[in-house]
Chains A and B, each alone.
Chain A
Amino acid sequence: MSHHRIAFDQVRYAYPDGTQALDGVTFRLVHGESVGLVGANGSGKSTLLSHLNGLLLPQTGLVTVGEVPVRRETLADIRRHVGLVFQDPDDQLFMPTVLEDVAFGPLNLGMSPAEANNRALQALEAVGSASLAHRPPQHLSLGQRSAVAVAAVLALEPDVLALDEPAARLDPRARRRLIGLLKGFRHTKIVASHDLDLVLDLCDRVLILKDGRLLKDGPCRELLSDLRLLDEAGLEAPLSLGLIAPDGVRRPGPSAFC
C-alpha cells in the first residue's frame, strides 16, 4: 500500500476562538508530486499542514494518507509516513546533540541505538551536515539548524515530506542551498511558503488558499503568473517571473488578457 497519496475531502477546522482556519478544503496529492501551498497570513497553510499528520484532526471531512484515514487511532502509522519540517528549527531540535536529535525519530520507531545512529548519520549526510553530528543544535547557524531539521525528518524515511516555510529567516545563500537540497529529494512534497520564488523553483503544482478555502489548484507557473488571482489571494508575483517592472509597475499576467 502506497502512503505517497494524500486526500483532503471537505476538511473543515475552526480554532477555539472561532476562527475558521479551513473551510471545506478538498484536493488530492499523488505519488512524487511536489506541491506548493501559498496564501496570505491567516489563510490556513499551517493549519492544513498540521492536518497532514494528525497534529490537528478535521472537525468535519476526512484526510487520508494512502488508504489510511487520519484518526487518533491511526496516528502512529500516519506519522511514520508523513514527515513535517517545522518553520522554526528550534522547535524541532531539542536533544543535546545533532546526532541524538536526528536519531530521536528512528529510536521511537523501535530501532536499536546502533541502527538509529546509522540512519541518523545517513540523513545528515544527505543534507551535507554529517560534520555537525556532535554539536549542540543551539550552537549552529540558522541555515545549519534548518538543514538538520530536514535531516531529523528524513531519518524517519517518510513517504511524504511537508515543509512549513522552510526558507523563512534564511540568508540568500542558505536559502539557495536548502532549495537545492529539497530539489534532490524524490519524496512527495508539500511546501507551505510565502516565498513564491522558492515555490516556483521547487513545485510543479500550487494550491492557493484564501480565508481557509482553496481558491485555486493548478500548475505552479501558470497560477503564479496570474496577477489578478494573486492579488485576490493577497499575494504578489514571484520576482523571478519578471512580472513586476523595476519601477514597481505590474505587467499583466496571462489571465489579465481574458
Chain B
Amino acid sequence: MAVSGAARLAELDRLASGRSGLHALDARFKILLGLAFSFAVVSLPKYAFLRLLPLTLFPLAAAAWGALPPARLLKKALPAAGVALALGAFNPFFDASPLHFNGLALSGGWVSLAGLLLRAVLVAFMALLLIAATGFSALCDALAGLGAPRLFTEQLRLLWRYADLLAEEGARLSRARDLRDPLRRSRGPRIAGHLIAALLGRSLQRAERIHDAMLCRGYAGALHRPSPRRPCAREWAVLALGLALVAALRFAPFPDFVAGALP
C-alpha cells in the first residue's frame, strides 16, 4: 500500500513536468483560481447538491487544458470522500427534513451527505490538479509569493520529499510483517501501533540526518529560492477569465425545472 503511495507522488511529479498552457501559467494565479473554486464549492448551502454539478466543469476543463488525465486524478481524490463520509455519516439519521424535487420527496440528510461527498472530492481533485500542473515545490514557492510564511512553505516542501521516503519506510515495515505472518494474524491495533511507532522512530532519525546534511552544506535556517517572475498580460487575462468562469458556474441561474427544486 505504501509503495503505491510513493508511486502516486512520483506520478504527480511526472505530470508536473508537462508543457501545456496550464503548466506554464504563473503558479500564484493557479493557486488563486484553485482557492476561488474551492470557496465557490464550499460556500454553497448544504442542500444545494444540484448547484455543485456545474462547478465540476471547471476542474475538468482545467485538466483538459493541461492534458492531465482526469480519471487518474479522480481516483487519487476519492479517498477524500472517505473522510467526508466519516464526518457526515450521521446526517441521514439526524436530518430527516423533507426536500421536494419536482414532486419527489427526499431526506435532507441524504442530500447534504451527497453534497458533502461531492464537495470533498471536488476540492481534493482541484488540489491534486494544482500539484499535477505545477509541481509541489513550485506551489510552495508560489504560496510564499502570495505571502504565506516561509517557515510554513519550507516545512511543506520538505514534507513532500519526506512523505515519499516515509511511504518507502512504511512499505518495508509492512512487507517485513507480511512475510512473517502468512496467516495474517497480526492485523490488530497492537501490532499496528508498534509499526507506527517504528515508522515514527525511523522518520525522526532520518529527519535528523537530513538536517545534519543541510547543516554540512551551510544551511542557516532559510532555503534560497528564486524570486518570482512578473506575470505577463496573457496570464492576467487567464486569471480574470478563470475567476469569471468560477463566478458564472457558482451564481448562474438554473433552468426553471431545476431551480424550482432548489432550496
Contacts and interface: CB of A to CB of B under 8 A. Distances in A.
Contact of B216 (A79, A107, A136, A138): A79
Contacts of A109: 218
B161 A79 contact: no
B27 to A, nearest CB: 13
A86 B209 contact: yes
B161 A152 contact: no
B215 A94 contact: no
Contact of A156 (B158, B218, B224): B218
A43 to B, nearest CB: 20
B209 A108 contact: no
B69 to A, nearest CB: 19
A153 B135 contact: no
Contact of B213 (A94, A108, A113): A94
A244 B206 CA distance: 37
A209 to B, nearest CB: 21
B185 interface: no
B235 interface: no
Interface string B198-226: 00000000100110111111111001101
7 nearest A-B residue pairs (beta carbon): A108-B218, A96-B137, A105-B217, A107-B224, A91-B209, A92-B213, A84-B216
Interface of A: 50, 53, 55, 76, 79-80, 83-84, 86, 88, 90-92, 94-97, 100, 104-105, 107-109, 113, 116, 136, 138-139, 152-153, 156
Interface of B: 10, 13, 135-138, 157-158, 161, 164-165, 206, 209-210, 212-220, 223-224, 226
Given A84-B216, A94-B158, A104-B223, 11 more contacts: A76-B218, A76-B220, A88-B209, A90-B165, A91-B206, A94-B214, A96-B137, A104-B217, A108-B219, A138-B164, A153-B216
